[in-house]
Amino acid sequence: MTAPLAEAELMREMNEGPPPSRVWWRRERPRVWRVVVFVLAAVFFLGPLAAAFKYSLQENDGSYGFGNYGQIINNKTVRSPLVTSLEIAAITAAIVIALILPTVVWVRLKKPKATAAMELITLLPIVIPPVVMAAGLEEFELNAPSWVIKYVFNHPLTGLIPFYVVLAMPFTYRAIDTGVRAMDLHTLVDASRNLGASWPSTLARVVLPNVQTAVLGAMFLTIALCLGEVVIATLLLYNTFPVEMVVLYHQSQVGVSVALSMITLIFTFLVLFGLSFIAQRRRVGGAARVV
């Protein structure tokens, strides 16, 4: 009788698998190559950041402190370009989302055959180098009428935002288009319209909550682009944040320049973390409402 019992026990273990303790140990034990890859990636990314942060603390007399960061906060000449770039980034992100989201929805609903043409058009800012666009804008500014100079090129907000919107189109269009493709757009829009909602209400209350992750990602890409673009701002003689970094470097204020770059990096990480946190909270809140 023992042989059939032993055979039955063996068959049960083969069907059910090993005991939970052995499965837990097998899943939790880290592999060596994963640890090696993680350590190498950490050294590759965190090493230059640590070196840059240390260099940003070095002052002109060789000592270490937060004097470079204090100069950014207290010196209006250094602080003003940073505030200007943040304003440009926020306004550009809002304009890009307001333009691209309705366009993507309209193309998907009404003109699906125009998808290829839209993808080609939005690729043009990548195909055309920014320096070529900047040279054309500089030539246009030199020969533009006085009213164009007064209302467009007289301030960095009006002079840079329209062109940054164009530069951000390739990234925002693809991010939002990917989010729209992942949802049942026709069903949701038809249901909203049949219930009496207007098109603006449908976009704001039906489409936008379903593509919020894609929209937040597009906003983050736009902000990062505006905080890093230097060619057009330099040729049009606008003192933005990246231009100020280059000016400080040529003025032998390298510590302040590196401190500015560290502030930008920290701000970018905070924006990314904040957008991810908002998207996660909205996703959890939406699931709770559904339940």
| Cα–Cα nearest to 87, from 23, 158, 34, 151 | 158
Mean pLDDT (the chain, rounded): 79
- Report how far residue 98's alpha carbon sits from residue 75's, in angstroms, rounded to the nearest whole number: 35
Phi then psi for residue 64, to 5 deg, are -115, 140
Residue 84 lies in a domain: yes
Asked if 223 and 95 count as a contact pair (C-beta separation under 8 A), the reply is no
Give the tens place of pLDDT for each residue, 138-166: 888 888 888 888 888 888 888 889 889 99
Residue 115 lies in a domain: yes
Do 44 and 90 share a structural domain?
A: no
| Cα–Cα nearest to 56, from 255, 209, 189 | 255
Q: In this predicted structure, which of 6-10, 207-211, 222-226, 268-272 has the lowest mean pLDDT?
A: 6-10
Residue 62 lies in a domain: no
Phi then psi for residue 59, to 5 deg, are -95, 180
Domain boundary among 57, 78, 97: 57
Do 270 and 161 share a structural domain?
A: yes
Q: What is the CATH number of the domain that holds 90?
A: 1.10.3720.10
Residue 261 lies in a domain: yes
Do 52 and 74 share a structural domain?
A: no
Type of residue numbered 44? F
Mean pLDDT over 255-276 rounds to 77
Do 98 and 10 share a structural domain?
A: no
Do 251 and 158 share a structural domain?
A: yes
Residue 75 lies in a domain: yes
- How many structural domains comprise the chain? 2
Asked if the model's pLDDT at residue 7 lies above 60, the reply is: no
Do 7 and 150 share a structural domain?
A: no
Residue 23 lies in a domain: yes
Mean pLDDT over 199-206 rounds to 88
Which position has the higher pLDDT, 130 or 40? 40
Domain coverage including residue 169: 70-290
Give the tens place of pLDDT for each residue, 95-112: 999 999 999 999 988 888
Residue 155 lies in a domain: yes
Do 162 and 216 share a structural domain?
A: yes
The reported pLDDT for the residue numbered 91 is: 93
Burial 139-163 (b: 16+ CB within 10 A, else e): eebeeeeeeeeeeebeebeebbbeb
Domain boundary among 35, 57, 79: 57
Do 170 and 29 share a structural domain?
A: no
Share of the chain above pLDDT 90, in %: 7
The reported pLDDT for the residue numbered 198 is: 87
Give the tens place of pLDDT for each residue, 59-97: 777 777 777 787 777 777 777 888 888 899 999 999 999
Do 90 and 31 share a structural domain?
A: no
The reported pLDDT for the residue numbered 269 is: 77
Residue 267 lies in a domain: yes
Do 28 and 171 share a structural domain?
A: no
- Report how far residue 68's alpha carbon sits from residue 256's, in angstroms, rounded to the nearest whole number: 5
Do 131 and 254 share a structural domain?
A: yes
For the chain, what is the HEC assignment?
CHHHHHHHHHHHHHHHCCCHHHHHHHHHCCCHHHHHHHHHHHHHHHHHHHHHHHHHHECCCCCECCHHHHHHHHCHHHHHHHHHHHHHHHHHHHHHHHHHHHHHHHHHHCCHHHHHHHHHHHHHHHHCCHHHHHHHHHHHHHHCCHHHHHHCCCCHHHHHHHHHHHHHHHHHHHHHHHHHHCCCHHHHHHHHHHCCCCHHHHHHHHHHHHCHHHHHHHHHHHHHHHHHCCHHHHHCCCCCHHHHHHHHHHCCCHHHHHHHHHHHHHHHHHHHHHHHHHHHHHHHHHHHHHC
pLDDT band at residue 224 using 50, 70 and 90 as cut-offs: confident
Do 198 and 143 share a structural domain?
A: yes
Domain boundary among 57, 80, 99: 57
- Report how far residue 167's alpha carbon sits from residue 165's, in angstroms, rounded to the nearest whole number: 5
Q: For residue 90, how many other CB atoms are within 10 A of its CB? A: 14
Asked if the model's pLDDT at residue 253 lies above 60, the reply is: yes
pLDDT band at residue 15 using 50, 70 and 90 as cut-offs: low
Instruction: For residue 234, give both structure tokens.
Output: 């330099």
User: Which residues are paired to 64 by β-bridges?
Assistant: 58
Say whether pTM exceeds 0.75.
Answer: no
Cβ within 8 Å of residue 278, ≥6 positions away: 216
